[in-house]
């Protein structure tokens, strides 16, 4: 029983991966889509909370959480890219962020010989804002939402690569480049 309880956070994270994939088969912006979308966001909060509260944090869980985040973001981009009227420069901006993220992963792999996705406040803010954007786009307008997400995503990507370059050891749970 105790051993199975240790896996609960990872099971929750795996549910986020599966739920993200389910989004691909739902009508975008439908009620069912939003329910599954919100479930994905809830599991993102819940897995880490359960892991910390039960003392079941692990390196494998941190990596799995980062993978689940990437799957969710990739699925969200795949779904929303055709819906949102992106200008060419916004597409280039998104590609630029992706290159920064890939560069950060490469730096982390070269330095630490492992996947080095970090759980910084800026990365969490990016995820939260990305998660909220489909829920509030009708209130604020799509252009404002896209610009805001891109600015926050750019800053968090730059912070992550800076941390991976300057850190002497890997700390996936580092909060910011300004904290140790």
Q: Give the per-residue pLDDT at 4.
A: 65
Same domain, 28 and 67: yes
Query: pLDDT averaged over consecutive 10-residue blocks of the chain (180 residues)?
Result: 74 97 95 95 91 87 89 91 85 95 95 89 90 82 86 97 95 88
Same domain, 78 and 89: no
d(CA 114, CA 117): 9
Count of structural domains within the chain:
2
Q: Give the per-residue pLDDT at 3.
A: 60
Q: Give the per-residue pLDDT at 7.
A: 87
d(CA 149, CA 151): 6
Same domain, 109 and 134: yes
Structural domain boundaries, residue 153: 84-180
Which residues are CB-contacts of 87 (< 8 A; sequence separation ≥ 6)? none
């Amino acid at each position: 029983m105790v051993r199975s309880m240790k896996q609960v956070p990872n099971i929750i994270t795996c549910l986020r991966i599966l739920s993200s994939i389910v989004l691909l088969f739902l009508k975008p912006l439908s009620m069912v889509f939003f329910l599954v979308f919100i479930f994905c966001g809830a599991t993102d909060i819940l897995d880490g909370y359960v892991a910390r509260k039960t003392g079941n944090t692990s390196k494998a869980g941190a990596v799995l959480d980062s993978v689940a985040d990437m799957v969710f973001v990739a699925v969200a981009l795949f779904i929303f890219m055709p819906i949102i009227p992106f200008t060419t420069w916004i597409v280039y901006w998104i590609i630029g962020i992706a290159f920064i993220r890939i560069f950060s992963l490469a730096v982390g792999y070269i330095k630490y010989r492992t996947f080095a996705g970090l759980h910084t406040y800026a990365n969490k803010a990016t995820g939260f804002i990305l998660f909220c954007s489909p829920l509030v786009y009708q209130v604020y307008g799509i252009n404002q939402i896209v610009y805001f997400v891109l600015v926050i995503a750019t800053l968090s990507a730059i912070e992550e690569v800076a941390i991976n370059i300057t850190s002497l050891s890997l700390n996936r749970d580092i909060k910011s480049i300004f904290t140790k």
